[in-house]
Structures are given as C-alpha cells and as structure tokens.
Structure 1
Amino acid sequence: MARDTGLLIVPSKIVIHPSPSMASNSIFLLLFSLLSLLHLHSSAAQSSVKAVYWFPDNEFPASNIDSTLFTHLFCAFADVDPTTYQVTVASQNTNAFSTFTTTVQQKNPSVKTLLSIGGGGSADIKNHFSSMASQPNSRKTFIDSAINLARSYNFHGLDLDWEYLATDTDMTNLGVLLKEWRDAVVAESSNSGKATLLLTAAFYYAPKIESLSYPIDSITTNLDWINAMAYDFYDPAWIQAGLPPKKLVLGFPFYGYAWRLVNADNHGLFAPTNGEGTGSDGVMLYKQIKQFMAQNGAATVFNASIVGGYCYAGTTWIGYDDTQSISTKVSYAKGKGLLGYFAWHVAADDNWVLSQLG
C-alpha cells in the first residue's frame, strides 16, 4: 500500500509495471510461481482478514464504505513529525480520522479499524522513519504517541507503512522498533484494561529489498500480520524465509495500468508500446477502467493460464485485475491457509463488485 499503487499474483499473473524501459518498448508479461507454504502457528488474535485501505483525499468519504464487506479497515495515513518523531494527523484530516471508527461501525459494529502511519511516494517519509528508529528516545516518542493517538481516535490497531528501507541498519532498527512497540501495547493494555492494540505493517512484496533482509524473527514475534504489497510483483520467499502463512495477508490492486500501443492492430501480450496511456501516469482505478470499456467499446481478454485480464480500444491497452482474477486469488489464499487478503484502495472499486468477492 502506500501513497502509490500496484498489482498481485495467483497462481501466475500479468504484471504491468511502469518503468522507463517499458514505457518506451513493450508490454511485459511476468509469470509468477504459486506460493509455497511452510508450517507455523496462526495469529492468536485473528482467524481471518479481509481488509481494505481508505484515505481521505480521494473524494470518497468514510461514510460511503460498505464496511459489512470487510473484517478490517485501514485509515491512511498518519505522519511522523521529522523533528519530534511524534505521530500526527494533518489538520485537514483530523475530523475524518477521529470519527473514522464510529463512522464505519455504523454499518458493521464488528469491523476493526487500524491507523496506518507513513506511506510511500516520498523519500522524506522513508528518511523520517529511518531517523526515528535509530535512537531509543525517538522510538519511544513514536510508539507512545502512536498508542495515544489510536486510543483517542478509537482505533483497534496500528499499521506501520515504512517502505523501502535503505540500509542494514534500518532493518536492524526495524526489528528493535517492533519489539519495543509490542512490549508497549501489551503494557498499555494491562494498565488500561482495554484490548491489546493490533500491530501490523505493510511491507515490500518480498522479504528482501535488493540485498537487505527483513527481520523475520521480530516480524513473526511482534506483529499480528503483515500486508505484503504484492501488487506489481510477488515473491513466495516471504514464506520460504520463515514467515508463517497465518502472518501473511496478500495485497490485491483495485486498479490497472494503461499503455499506448504502437500499432492498434497489434494488441496482444508483448505488443510494443510507446508510452503511458490514459489516466494519471498510466494508472487507472478499476471503476475508471470499466467506464473506459463502456465508453469505447473495448475488447476484453481473460487468460486463465496466467489468471489475468486486459482490454484494448484503439491504441489504448490496459492490464488489470477483474472479477475472475480476484476471485481466483481469494480462493487460492483461502486454500493455502493464508491469514487473508487486502486491497488498495476502497474508492477504486466499481459498485463493490471486487470487494464482494470472497
């Protein structure tokens, strides 16, 4: 997740991932292996997860969310103050965040809410996390302020969205941060008599970022689960590295990527392109893709062997996840004993057709 976007696999997946070489050359087909699962215990606090992220600047108010379709809702994003390292909420989001839980529980009193901190799309965010996690005092400030904010806004948990850790030191400090955070929420629960806050994190699609390895032991011990941002890519190595299946929640994209074909008559997989298509940087929400299909009479193709679809009209080619691919992935995750799945993001769906699957 993040303040950016992506796509997922199961059992193999068309992946359209923006890059300079792709924009100037061709549509790429990336096939991915099935997840290989190893043994391990489940998350003691949670039997299954069906979640989605929401953020306030998408012109989709929290009151519009059909919370009956989900077990958990992530409210994104709180910030880390670069000077004090306290977790804060932008002034324009204070009302929406402070009322988020009460708003979504009007339709589903049992839905759990988590405040997501950080997000992608900015080097500053990454640097703020790195600096915060490097010292005991700043970690404590971050942890204490996050817990206080969660309680004051009635969230049931906290979600760390620290993306693209840059050094081995960052990875080591992440492990320490998670341990101290777990200790703090347990102590706070004991002192307050309230249920222990959930702790989750949105991480890279694989357990390594280039040569840097996530602290698997600390993640397994201290987080209730991770949201693997398996949007554009997926690597089964999270499980192979020792993460329990019941600690893994897979990410689904409620959007796709549009590309401009060199030749409208050559519109299959691997067809040459010469740039991004319609949308913002080529990214189109699922509901926008459906609108494009209807308005342009786009032809649609679903390839069962790669569990992915695309559509085309004129020189516009769009790769995306549709109801067939999402439902297959849901069934796969359930069949393999994963904790669940989540989507980025709720406002991108088209009349809840993707959210209703599973």
Structure 2
Amino acid sequence: MWSNLVVKLILLTGLINSIYCQSPPRVVCYYDSRSSLKEGIGKVLPSDILPAISMCTHLVYGYAGIKAEDFKVAPLISNEELDPNNGLYRQITSIKTQYPNLKVLLSVGGDADGNSPDKYLALLESSTARIAFTNSVNVILKQFNFDGLDLAFQFPKMKPKKVRSTIGSIWHGFKQTIGAAGKPVDENSEAHKNQFTSLVVELKNSFRIDNYQLGITVLPNVNATLYLDVPSIKNYVDFVTIAAFDVYTPARNPKEADYVAPTLSVTDRNVEENVDFAATYLIANGLAGTQIVVGLPTFGRAWKIEKDATITGAPPVAANGPAPEAVQTRTQGLYSYPEICNMLLNDQNVNLKGEHAPLRRVPDPTKRYGTYAFRLPDANGGYGVWVGYEDPESAGNKASFVKGKGLGGVAVFDLSTEDIRGSCTGGQIKFPILQKIKEKLK
C-alpha cells in the first residue's frame, strides 16, 4: 500500500512540475494609484515602480470605481486620470512599450470605492445596470490600451471576531444554538451569487473579440462560498486572486492583535482563515490550481499593546486599537515594509527609548503563520506596538507554498508599500519582497 502511495506522490509531484514548466507562474503586481496623491516619501508615481516591472507578468492599476447613478466605470482619484496623453491610466499602460509581454489590467473596486457601498449589489440586481457597466468597461479598456479587467468586487464582509469574556462567550454560544446570534451579512447572497455569475459571463463574452483578460479578486474578509459559483464561472475567468491577508486588522479587531496573513491554519483559530483553506476550497469546486493566484501584502498591520501583553509577543495579544501613524503611510495601524524594517533592531536605534525604541522581529520557522515584530510597553505602559507583516523571508515561504501546491502564482499588494528605494539594505536591494517571490517561483 505504501509503495503505491509513494508512486502516486511522485507522479503528482511530476505533474505539478510539468505544469509549471508549461505555464510560467503569474507574478501579479498591484499599483495603488492613491499613492500618487501622497506627499514626501509616500508619494509613488508610475515612474517609481519601473525597476520592478521586469519581475511582473501582470500589472494591475488600482482602482477604478462605479458611479451610483448610472453604474458606469469611473476614476476614483480625479478625471485627470483620464487625460489621454499623460493621465495615470496612460502612464501605466505606456509601460508596455518597454515591456511588451506585460499584461496591464484595470481593477474595479478593491475596497477603495467608499461612496454608496450598496451600489455593487444594486449593479448585480439589474440586468440594465450590468449592461451599462460592461459597455463602459470595454470603452475604458480600449481607449487606454488595457489588456483586461480585474473585478475586485466589493461584496459585504464577514463580521469581525469579538473578544468576549467567559460569560459573554457562553451567552454567544447559546444565541447561536437558538439561531439568534445576529443577521447574516447578506440575506440575498444566493441571488447575488447567481447575478455575479451572470456579470462574469457577460463581461467575458464581451471581451472575446479583443481577447481581454478577466480576473476576479476575492477581497479580504469576503466569504467566497457566498458569492462565487466556481463551477459556473471557471471557464470565464483567466485567474482568481485570493487577497489572503487582513484576517485581523486594528480597525476590525481593535482589542486583539493576531497573525494577519497565515498560510496554514493556526491553532485555536477559525480553520477557514488561511491561504491553504481558500485555495483548497476553490480547487475542490472545480477551479484549476493554475487559475489561483495568492495575494500577499507589502504592508503590515500594527496595534498598540498593553501592559499585560505576553513577553514573547506571541499572538493573540491584548491590544488597544491601531498603532500611531508612520511617516510614509500616514495611516494609523498601517506600516509599509520599509517603515517596519527600519523600526527593527539595528545599530542606529539599539539605544533609543520610548516611541523610537526598536521592534523585535520574530520569524516563523514553521512557515505556517508569517512574521511579526513587537515592542513591549515601557514602565508607564506606553509605546507598546505589535505588527504582523510579510518580509522577504515569509513572502518567499508563501511563494514556495504556491509552487508546491501547483497554484497559478503570487500577487503583490502593492508596489507602493514595497521597499522601492532599497532603504532596508542601504540602497542595495530594491523591491526585496518581489525579488524573493520571483526567485522562489522559478
């Protein structure tokens, strides 16, 4: 029996390797155009990401939105994006003149379109709205020479985990038993699933004459089982990207810091909150492994931690909301990779105290959970920080997982929070996370 099993495993490994030889894995690089509006070192223009493009098979421009009044695609920053000569759309697609094999997609949604959030479901519910959306997409793609669309659809999100007392946990369990633990996130999810299938089919059929690609991005904390009819859409999408991060964030989980992007299941956590579960679910429902792209972040989520935090920093850790903003991202609880790496212990900060004291990095030898770093509170209970993030090592581990499982590639969210200047290595290595991903996918 064991000899037969070994033979089967060898054959399976050979099949996975042959797939990778026949079809090179995708490296999907996202560019969040909102970074073009920032000041100082946070400002990232299309010209700043050029050194990364040779490592990308796809470049995704994020994000366009939907107009609530007519359901047509619209720019989210300003109409200047649509300048036919030097707007951001044109700057991004013009990169193909230097990299003719690059595929440049326009992404719609992406949790960036905050106005009238109900319009996404309203779009699905109206065939007239879907036609207007589809027609407007085709106009934009053709006008600006995009190669396709990334549908990062803004479905309702799952409710965040609550930190409960023992009595609260017992009461919540009782309410679940009697069916009174709260309304579902979407009471019409079955209808919306069918309508989303219709949208995908309609888009892909409209794309065939121009051979545009169609990708779907499953955004963080969206329950794919509610909205993706995988058997019905698998032949109409080129790939599905799992944005497999932000499982925990300071905004959703202010009282508890935890791993933000685990690859495999974490003990005593929801078994569904990891990359492996999401990919296995899609494959079990008929999507080819080579159609699945695993998204990972180039940023970290950071919490303030309290006096009673464990001395090892091992999560879950009691927290008190988002950590203070840093100089690049200018957002509480959100740090770019170069911001994080420069907070880690080094010769310049080893003797600093208070808010400038170094963070201790804790790697993940198991390759299951990801990297985190932390600084315990001082004697007065201040300046404690816990941050979960990806670094080149953990990103490389994730890329190795993707290759070993026979998946279709890795997506990087996004280039603007990567180490574009090489500050983590004294200017020697730019885009180190992307470089490690590319290396491990070979």
**Do the structures match in fold with TM over 0.5?**
yes
Q: Equivalent residue for 1:97?
A: 89
More strand by share: 1
| Residues 299, 335 of structure 2: 8 Å contact kept | yes
2:383 is equivalent to residue 308 of structure 1: no
Structure 2 counterpart SS, 1:272: strand
Q: Equivalent residue for 1:277?
A: 323
Which letter does structure 1 place at the counterpart of 2:218? F
| Residues 285, 348 of structure 1: 8 Å contact kept | yes
Q: How many residues align?
A: 310
Distance 1:127 1:238, change over 3 A: same
Which letter does structure 1 place at the counterpart of 2:33? P
Which letter does structure 2 place at the counterpart of 1:178? V
Q: Matches of 2:401 and 2:365 in 1, distance apart?
A: 14
Q: Equivalent residue for 1:62?
A: 46
2:435 is equivalent to residue 356 of structure 1: yes
User: What's the CA shift for 1:51?
Assistant: 0.9
User: What's the CA shift for 1:98?
Assistant: 2.4
Distance 1:221 1:260, change over 3 A: same
2:150 is equivalent to residue 162 of structure 1: no
User: What's the CA shift for 1:213?
Assistant: 4.4
| Residues 80, 86 of structure 1: 8 Å contact kept | yes
2:362 is equivalent to residue 298 of structure 1: no
Of residues 384, 387, 392, the one that matches 1:323 is 392
Q: Equivalent residue for 1:259?
A: 303
- Identity over aligned residues, as a percent? 22
2:414 is equivalent to residue 345 of structure 1: yes
| Residues 159, 200 of structure 1: 8 Å contact kept | yes
Distance 1:281 1:121, change over 3 A: farther
Alignment of 1:146-157 (within 5 A): 146-157=137-148
Q: Equivalent residue for 1:268?
A: 313
More helix by share: 2
| Residues 115, 158 of structure 1: 8 Å contact kept | yes
Of residues 186, 190, 201, the one that matches 1:179 is 201
Q: Matches of 2:305 and 2:194 in 1, distance apart?
A: 45
Q: Which has the higher contact order (CA 8 A, sep 6+)?
A: 1
Q: Equivalent residue for 2:403?
A: 334
TM (norm. structure 1) is: 0.79
Task: Calculate the aligned-residue CA RMSD, in Å.
Answer: 2.7
Quick check: 315-324 or 161-170, which moved more?
161-170
Structure 1 unmatched ranges of 5 or more: 1-36, 190-195
Quick check: 53-62 or 89-98, which moved more?
89-98
User: What's the CA shift for 1:124?
Assistant: 4.2
Q: Matches of 2:303 and 2:72 in 1, distance apart?
A: 41
Structure 1 counterpart SS, 2:362: strand
User: What's the CA shift for 1:126?
Assistant: 4.1
Distance 1:140 1:329, change over 3 A: same
Q: Equivalent residue for 2:64?
A: 78
User: What's the CA shift for 1:86?
Assistant: 1.5
Q: Equivalent residue for 1:222?
A: 236
User: What's the CA shift for 1:49?
Assistant: 0.9
Alignment of 1:241-260 (within 5 A): 241-260=285-304
String of CA shifts for 1:77-106, please: whole Å, max 9, x gaps: 11211112211223132211123110x235
Distance 1:240 1:68, change over 3 A: same
| Residues 155, 222 of structure 2: 8 Å contact kept | no
Distance 1:338 1:169, change over 3 A: same
Quick check: 84-93 or 115-124, which moved more?
115-124
Quick check: 284-293 or 198-207, which moved more?
198-207
Q: Equivalent residue for 2:213?
A: 198
String of CA shifts for 1:158-196, please: whole Å, max 9, x gaps: 11111225422211110011111111111x33xxxxxx0
TM (norm. structure 2) is: 0.65
String of CA shifts for 1:31-55, please: whole Å, max 9, x gaps: xxxxxx9x99x89x97421012112
String of CA shifts for 1:206-225, please: whole Å, max 9, x gaps: 8845x724211232011101
Distance 1:253 1:240, change over 3 A: same
